[in-house]
A and B are shown apart, each in its own frame.
Chain A
């Protein structure tokens, strides 16, 4: 199925949880925040959310800034 991650269209396997998706990208959960269809999802909930077709996911963290 097709979803959008950080603005880019990607094809992912179905019945993937948010947690599996993020770990699958080689990202560590430390200080990452995830927005799923414009809702911020707490880390504890990542495993409970199944990614669906056309979902919009933002994976966000801190960088240097003024």
Chain B
């Protein structure tokens, strides 16, 4: 039986979600998306600069991928809700990642405002994916508010520091019944693999792919790591032990016994 992620009213086979920011050009971004096979792609919403003749980014997102607009730029729930509505009206579909940040140094999300925005947008029929700091009680509130998943950060956005929040993410995976998707700070494929081994439903990666020397290669590497981590999780990872447990038999040794 195929391992499919059922989320936000859809069936997703590729558990690597990719962000489209920071690529040096849209063509490179397209190659990375193709190389990874990622089905879910995030975009941001901004004022149009009429003077810059920039291409429409949607022309560079391969066919059949799902767009998840993010509310980046929002400093409170009201701004997030406004951005989400604009994104939907611009044709992004009903999936939205809530990103509410007031902290410019670490870009850590404001969980309270994120909850407020989630409550409003769920009622308006959005499938809401809140980006959050991994606090279990807030995650429970987001579940009650009707979020489609919770998206705890691994480490600060763009920091490539990996799953520094591992312990808290692990708790969330055990206690939260909706998909847990680690988003932000994953710096290398093994970080993504680590999240999947913990039991996360998916991961969202942007910077580590976009600024790699070879984004398409890195996107593929991440995709493979996500598959490996997921298969490992499904296969039952053995627990750790303080002392050794011999791998070869302890009998029939080739030695004289007195």
Interface residues of A (CB under 8 A from B): 6-7, 25-27, 30-33, 35, 38, 40, 42, 58-66
Contact = CB atoms under 8 A, between A and B. Distances in A.
B56 A30 contact: yes
Contact of B57 (A7, A40, A63): A63
A59 B70 contact: no
21 contacts: A31-B58, A31-B90, A33-B87, A35-B86, A40-B89, A61-B46, A61-B48, A61-B56, A61-B90, A62-B44, A62-B46, A62-B56, A62-B57, A62-B58, A63-B43, A63-B46, A64-B22, A65-B19, A66-B42, A66-B184, A66-B206
Contacts of B233: none
A38 B79 CA distance: 11
A26 B50 CA distance: 7
Given A31-B58, A64-B20, 13 more contacts: A6-B48, A27-B48, A30-B56, A31-B56, A35-B86, A38-B82, A59-B50, A62-B87, A64-B44, A65-B19, A65-B70, A65-B72, A66-B20
Contacts of A64: 19-23, 26, 29, 43-44, 57
B65 to A, nearest CB: 13
Interface residues of B, number: 36
A60 B26 CA distance: 19
B85 interface: yes
Contact of A60 (B22, B23, B70, B86): B86
Count chain A CB atoms within 10 A of each CB in B19, B21, B43, B87 and give the residue with the most: B43
A45 B46 CA distance: 22
Contacts of B184: 66
Count chain B CB atoms within 10 A of each CB in A25, A30, A58, A63 and give the residue with the most: A63
B42 A65 contact: yes
Contact of B45 (A6, A25, A30, A63): A63
